[in-house]
Amino acid sequence: AISAFLPQSHLDTKPIRGAAVDRLMRVPIKVRIVRVEKTRGNISCSRRVVLEKNKNAEVAEALKTIKEGMVVDTQVRAVNSWGVFVSYNNLDMLVHVSDLDFGRVKQPSDLVSVGQTLKCKITKIDSQTNRISASVKDLGSDPYKDIEKKYKIGSTYPAEIVKLQDYGAFASLEKNIEGLIHQSYLSHTSRTVKPNKIFSIGDKIKVKVLSIEKDKRRISLDYKSTLPNPWDKIKDKIGSTVKFKISNITE
């Protein structure tokens, strides 16, 4: 009998230890000799190389059964902050977070969970690396497709506050269609007012559409124009004697 050394890192295609290693004891396995030192009588082998070769062969055969544009039912295998890994016919596919939905996705785990069945469209197959990309949002219609017919520049529409930033507030006109109310369009009396001083998440308001950049998927909104302008009332006071309250004193 000839003895050979099998490093633990070459036991499987992924790191294993403990009980997983014990289960391989005294079990016939296939390995490939990767190194021979005749002078020392040392032989190194690898089970991982054999498994990877078999898996690559299986992947190559499975790749023949799919093509770009196909819609398939997959199973969610893993969920990360940047995307979702799904499996179909023993093939792993990546659905990037930007391909999950047309709207902003905070966390993929908010939409899917491990083990869930997910219908996807295969968008790209890289035959060199065997990497497959898929999309969920491509199965639906783009809400920006006919947006100029839904929303007219200069018109006022109901909206809901969905996100607050120092530079402005994001308001949702409908599912997957959001616009930015810049800080300068929040108040008639202050251009630097903080959005969180005016809004809370979930507030129902009215906004005026200022501009729509369809290609960039950007909408600019105006909130202050939907409110009475206090400066208009001041015009009626020109020439009149009125009482003022001192709010600040400077040098």
Q: pLDDT of 34-62, one tens digit each?
A: 999 888 889 999 999 888 887 777 777 77
Looking at residue 168, the DSSP 8-state letter turns out to be E
> What per-residue confidence (pLDDT) applies to 84?
92
At residue 124, the 3 state secondary structure works out as strand
Other CB atoms closer than 10 Å to residue 209's CB: what's the count?
Answer: 21
> What per-residue confidence (pLDDT) applies to 136?
92
The backbone torsions φ and ψ at residue 185, rounded to the nearest 5 degrees and listed phi first, read: -115, 25
If you search the block for the tokens 């295969």, which residue do you land on? 122
Contact by Cβ (8 Å): 101, 111: yes
- pLDDT beneath 50, residues of the chain: none
How far is CA 143 from each of CA 101, 137, 139, 179, rounded to the nearest angstrom?
11, 11, 12, 13
* CA-based nearest residue to 85, from 189, 238, 93: 93
Distance in angstroms (rounded) separating the CA atoms of residues 194 and 186: 9
> What per-residue confidence (pLDDT) applies to 154?
95
- Two tokens at 247? 């709010």
Question: How many degrees, rounded to 5, is the angle at CA 213 between CA 212 and CA 215?
Answer: 140
Q: Measured in whole angstroms, how far is the alpha carbon of residue 150 from the centre of its chain?
A: 26
Question: How many degrees, rounded to 5, is the angle at CA 174 between CA 171 and CA 179?
Answer: 30
Contact by Cβ (8 Å): 21, 14: no
> What per-residue confidence (pLDDT) applies to 142?
84
Contact by Cβ (8 Å): 189, 171: no
HEC assignment per residue over 66-95 = CCCCCEEEEEEEEEECCEEEEEECCEEEEE
Residues written for the chain: 251
> What per-residue confidence (pLDDT) applies to 27?
87
Global pTM value: 0.60
> What per-residue confidence (pLDDT) applies to 198?
94
H-helix segments, the chain: 19-22, 47-63, 147-150, 230-235
Q: Measured in whole angstroms, how far is the alpha carbon of residue 246 from the centre of its chain?
A: 50
Amino acid, res. 82: W
Q: 141: burial class by Cβ within 10 Å (0-12, 13-18, 19+)?
A: exposed
Contact by Cβ (8 Å): 123, 196: no
Distance in angstroms (rounded) separating the CA atoms of residues 58 and 211: 52
Helix (H) or strand (E) holding 25: none
